[in-house]
Amino acid sequence: MTEIDCLMCLSKKTNEYTSGSKLLKSDYSEYFDSILAKEVLVADNARNHPATRCFNESYLIPNDIHSMLDYILTKDGSPFGVICCESVGQKQEWQETDIQNLRRIANMSSMFF
């Protein structure tokens, strides 16, 4: 996986959906390396997390995002996408139940691709 294309992004602030943004591995290698190696990325403090602080200037700070919980989508064992959960306005300490629920959502979503 060398890029991620945003299919759908819901803004809590505007309650609107957007799409079309793109992340390139060449620009965000720390994030790509981490998510591909671990399948899940838990960043309670995303602005200081080694894998997500690369988004500070372009995404996290402008959108007031403090925490991220991302899970990779796979098909036949190969990664093809990511589901991203973000906490806006304050840090979120992700719990094991959050991770398990996102894993279930990712596994169910993968079946539709």
pLDDT tens digits for 79-100? 888 888 899 899 999 999 999 9
Identify the architecture of domain 3-110 in CATH: 2-Layer Sandwich (3.30)
Q: What pLDDT was estimated at residue 74? A: 80
Specify the pTM.
0.84
The predicted-structure confidence for 1-49, as pLDDT tens digits, reads as follows: 787 777 777 777 777 877 777 888 888 889 889 988 888 999 999 999 9
* Residue ranges covered by each domain of the chain: 3-110
45: closest CA among 65, 70, 23, 24? 65
At 92 the pLDDT is: 93
Of the candidates 6, 57, 50, 19, which has an alpha carbon nearest to the alpha carbon of residue 32?
50
